[in-house]
Amino acid sequence: MILILFGPPGAGKGTQADLLKEKHNLLHLSTGDILREEVSNNTQLGIEAKKFMDSGELVTDDLIIGMIKNKIESTTNVNGFLFDGFPRTISQAEALDLMLIESNKEIDKVISLEVDDNVLTKRLLSRGRSDDNEITIKNRLDVYKNQTLPIKDFYKNSNKLLEIKGDSSIEEVSSEIEKLL
Ligand code: AMP
């Protein structure tokens, strides 16, 4: 099974990912989490990525695609993958399709969590991560609209998109996801 959790920063992707990966025995691949680990380990990748992350810009497609490819190729013994925060650009979405074709797999569903901007900003400000300050948040929401939102049509056309309201409780969102899967 291959699922993508899609939605703006603060939509609850990480929270829902934790529930989904347990239920379906999926490997959770959060590009944000992987990048933050690279940054804290001071790796070459982390050093390159940090400047983009600090300003709320996207890390370059080449870095992200290489990173995901490594993870997919080095993983065995899972039922599938749960992508969270990836893909974020049309190029990443196309690269993912190619990677999956090479290993005879395909995306099952793209779960899009829909939450209003004012709710997102409130949630992000209360989270307190270093890139969760007012200026960076605004930029991340703009980057999301300009570079990431167009992917929705990409998946809508292939009938894989599940649109779910993400502003109710964790349990309600989770049961809505399970109902539609
Ligand atoms: P997130 O935790 O998903 O909000 O990601 C935090 C930051 O990591 C983002 O603001 C980007 O700078 C970077 N990032 C995470 N995932 C991606 C991706 N798929 N493509 C490009 N940059 C990413």
- Indicate the pTM of the whole model: 0.95
For residue 110, the SS3 value is strand
**What count of other Cβ atoms lies within 10 Å of the Cβ of residue 50?**
16
For residue 30, the SS3 value is strand
30, β-bridge pairs: 84
Q: What is the pLDDT of residue 77?
A: 81
pLDDT tens digits, 132-157: 999 999 999 999 999 999 999 999 99
Class of domain 2-173: alpha beta
Q: How far apart are CA 28 and CA 18, in angstroms?
A: 8
Q: Using most ligand atoms within 8 A of CB, pick from 4, 35, 89, 138 the residue to mutate for ligand 1.
A: 35
Q: What is the largest CA-CA distance in the chain?
A: 43
Q: How far apart are CA 14 and CA 18, in angstroms?
A: 6
Helix 61-73 / helix 44-55 crossing angle, nearest 10 deg: 130
CA 90 / ligand 1 centre spacing (Å): 14
Q: What is the pLDDT of residue 42?
A: 97
The answer to whether residues 141 and 56 touch, using CB atoms and an 8 Å cutoff, is no
- Please report which helix (H) or strand (E) contains residue 19, including its range: helix 13-24
Q: Using most ligand atoms within 8 A of CB, pick from 18, 58, 130 the residue to mutate for ligand 1.
A: 58
Whose tokens are 């013994």? That residue is 77
For residue 59, the SS3 value is coil
Domain residue spans of the chain: 2-173
pLDDT tens digits, 51-110: 999 999 999 999 999 999 999 988 888 889 999 999 999 999 999 999 999 888 999 999
